[in-house]
Amino acid sequence: MQKFVIHGGKRLEGDITVQGAKNSALPILSAAMLCDGESILENCPELSDVYAACQILTHSGCRCRMENHTVTIQAETIQNAEIPENLMQEMRSSIIFLGAMLGRTGECISGYPGGCELGSRPIDLHLQAFQKMGVKIQEENGILFCTTPNGLHGAKIHLQFPSVGATENIMLAAVLADGETIISNAAREPEIFDLANYLKKCGAKITGAGESTIFIEGVKKLHGCTYRIMPDRIVTATWLAAAAATGGTIRLLQADTGSLEGILDVFEQMHCSCSHTKKTICFSANKPLKAIRCLKTMPYPGFPTDAQAIVMAVLCQVKGTSLIEETIFENRFRHTDALMRMGADIQIAGRAAIVHGVKKLHGATVSATDLRGGAAMLIAGLSAEGETVITELSHIDRGYDKPEKILANIGADIRRR
Ligand code: EPZ
């Protein structure tokens, strides 16, 4: 079993080129299945979740090749619209293929994603929307059998919650459906804007992506295209947090500063200094950081839930008391046990975490609980005194492309064993 061995306390200094966004690559890989032709996706991160998505495409009859951060998908013929059970269990966000399979073939057989480390992860908003679009859904022993006996048609859909996955899945089903689909209270995350840009380049008719109401006019066919995946804003936040936790000075290249308002603002509240152009961020934490009285995770453009654990790892060593409220997922504080083993002083009260800053964390052996929780342990280990060992790296490898290489390049003492 692989593990990270980190000797903390090294100030991080240097340049990092930000990887492509996992949460944009996954829905766009699914969207490639809608196209009767070849798509070339550039700046695609090399992650286990991306490999799983390619396996689903291959299983459905597409040809999928990945080399040097570019994925080529040939989706001329779809032989079967099925998301294999094992892949659904391995990656719950595989549910994002449901919309594309329904859009392209009018049917889909899928395992039920079920809960994960962050909570129950229901898909009721996805399924309710599909039923409004003419999809019949039968569930037997945890398998969903979806068909469209009278075809797939547009619908007016209001989301009770601005779910990212549900917004993406509806878009994927709507672009080839009969007539117009209107999604109100849609999620506004930048990855949705990226997905819409890819689909429009393939010939889809979409307006309003990135706003709260999205209009999609179904078309008959989509062709493939060449598209560059947007930079990963959560990975960007991770590297900023690593620099903040070690008092470092870094420059992030090929970033997407337009999608980072809710994140850069939080680091500035902590008294980090950051200046940026459209694609480059100059960041330093060379003075004592400040606690944050109240930090609340919100749907975009608020502070993202995916950055909650990452920022908590920094606040553990910041003088003063910070309150963090997790409003999106019901169980997203699982990383606090590990941080407390490293000497952090954190109290959990329901969806709130109260972080009392300590002078210094100390190394420990911890195991990653989930993707961003694992990233939080990485950040804590980089600044803790002594040696930190992190196991269960498969969680971290789902979202970070060779993080140990990136961090070692800017002065971290970290090795993958
Ligand atoms: C996406 O997950 C991201 N994953 C998550 O990133 C991210 O945390 C989340 O959006 C919120 O920004 C991908 O894009 C692959 P949601 P998703 O549907 O689509 C409830 C990471 O670390 N809900 O917006 O699953 C749900 O339970 C991952 O990269 C329903 O109740 O998020 C949750 O409480 C983790 N019914 C809330 O909405 C539904 O049908 C947000 O979920 C769907 C969701």
Nearest atom within ligand 1 for CA of residue 49? 15
List the one residue out of 245, 240, 235, 246 whose CA is nearest residue 281. 240
pLDDT tens profile 59-106? 999 999 999 999 999 999 999 999 999 899 888 899 999 999 999 999
* CA gap 75, 61 in Å, rounded: 7
- The DSSP bridge pattern shows strands 107-111 and 82-83 to be parallel
* CA gap 304, 358 in Å, rounded: 25
Q: How far is CA 337 from the centre of its chain?
A: 23
Distance of CA 391 from the midpoint of ligand 1 (Å): 25
Distance of CA 163 from the midpoint of ligand 1 (Å): 6
Whether 21 contacts 412, CB under 8 Å: no
* CA gap 378, 392 in Å, rounded: 12
* Burial 126-164, CB ≥16 within 10 A → b, else e: bbebbebbbbebeeeeeebebbbeeebbbbebebeebbb
List the one residue out of 173, 168, 40 whose CA is nearest residue 100. 173
Burial of 295 (C-beta count, 10 Å sphere; 0-12/13-18/19+): buried
Distance of CA 164 from the midpoint of ligand 1 (Å): 6
Same CATH topology for 4-18+231-416 and 22-228: the answer is yes
CATH topology assigned to domain 4-18+231-416:
UDP-n-acetylglucosamine1-carboxyvinyl-transferase; Chain (3.65.10)
pLDDT tens by residue, the chain, 417 residues: 999 999 999 999 999 999 999 999 999 999 999 999 999 999 999 999 999 999 999 999 999 999 999 999 999 999 999 999 989 988 889 999 999 999 999 999 998 887 778 888 899 999 999 999 999 999 998 899 999 999 999 999 999 999 999 999 999 999 999 999 999 999 999 999 999 999 999 999 999 999 999 999 999 999 999 999 999 999 999 999 999 999 999 999 999 999 998 999 999 999 999 999 999 999 999 999 999 999 999 999 999 999 999 999 999 999 999 999 999 999 999 999 999 999 999 999 999 999 999 999 999 999 999 999 999 999 999 999 999 999 999 999 999 999 999 999 999 999 999
Mutating to test ligand 1, I would choose from 163, 212, 305 the residue with most ligand atoms within 8 A of its C-beta, which is: 163
Domain boundary assignment for the chain: 4-18+231-416, 22-228
- Residue 186 has phi, psi (to 5 degrees) of -70, 155
pLDDT tens profile 338-370? 999 999 999 999 999 999 999 999 999 999 999
Task: Identify the residues whose C-beta falls under 6 Å from ligand 1.
Answer: 22-23, 26, 93, 119, 121-126, 161, 163-166, 187, 305-306, 328-329, 371-372, 399
Does the reported pTM lie above 0.95?
yes
* CA gap 281, 251 in Å, rounded: 6
Q: Is 64 a known active-site residue?
A: no
CATH topology assigned to domain 22-228:
UDP-n-acetylglucosamine1-carboxyvinyl-transferase; Chain (3.65.10)
**Which pLDDT does position 116 carry in this prediction?**
77
**Which pLDDT does position 142 carry in this prediction?**
87
Q: Can the peptide bond before residue 301 be classed as cis, meaning omega within 30 degrees of 0?
A: yes
